């Protein structure tokens, strides 16, 4: 079976995201077991430490541009989304387009990171950004029970006091 891929818009660029089943193997709070996992953990730690740097937003923009041009793996996109969830004042607005993509919201590899982003970063976003995300969630398919559950779960992660649309 071929992994699903999708296109993303990121800062005026077109990027790709590809399922990599990282929701199964990516280390969360566990000790990494191989070089790939160690690199991922180091990248994630760097992103989290970056939030405290003077030019954090500028460096994060540069990283986004490189990732958009060179990466497809969902695990890298999830690491960026987790960083934005943990440092929303610094990074959240830069990932609105990414987190508005149906693939990022619904695929197992990025769903958890997206839900954390919605909980933590959503209140820091402008009304325009919130409307974009709300419309993306409302636009998700809901024909099957799984799709409907995913849509409701994501909507449930939006802080009620920050919701802008009336739908």
Mean pLDDT of 68-77: 95
Q: How far apart are CA 106 and CA 11, in angstroms?
A: 21
Name every residue whose Cβ is closer than 8 Å to that of residue 138 and which is 6 or more positions away in sequence: 151, 165, 167
C-alpha neighbours within 13 Å on the C-beta side of residue 136:
22
Give the tens place of pLDDT for each residue, 119-156. 999 999 999 999 999 999 999 988 888 888 888 999 99
Q: Please tell me the pTM assigned to this model.
A: 0.92
Give the tens place of pLDDT for each residue, 73-86. 999 999 999 999 99
Considering only residues 166 and 116, tell me which one the structure prediction assigns the higher pLDDT.
Answer: 116
Give the tens place of pLDDT for each residue, 12-44. 899 999 998 888 777 666 576 678 788 888 899
């Amino acid at each position: 079976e071929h992994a699903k891929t999708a296109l993303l818009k990121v800062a005026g660029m077109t990027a790709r995201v590809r399922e990599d089943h990282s929701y199964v193997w990516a280390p969360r709070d566990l000790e990494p077991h191989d070089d790939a996992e160690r690199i991922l953990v180091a990248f994630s730690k760097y992103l989290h430490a970056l939030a405290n740097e003077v030019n954090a937003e500028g460096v994060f923009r540069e990283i986004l541009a490189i990732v958009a041009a060179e990466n497809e793996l969902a695990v890298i996109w999830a690491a960026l989304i987790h960083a934005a969830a943990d440092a929303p004042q610094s990074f959240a607005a830069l990932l609105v387009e990414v987190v508005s993509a149906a693939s990022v919201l619904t695929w197992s590899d990025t769903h958890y990171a997206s839900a954390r982003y919605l909980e933590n970063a959503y209140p820091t976003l402008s009304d325009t950004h919130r409307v974009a995300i709300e419309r993306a969630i409302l636009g998700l398919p809901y024909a099957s029970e799984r799709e409907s559950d995913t849509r409701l779960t994501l909507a449930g992660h939006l802080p009620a006091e920050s919701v802008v649309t009336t739908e």
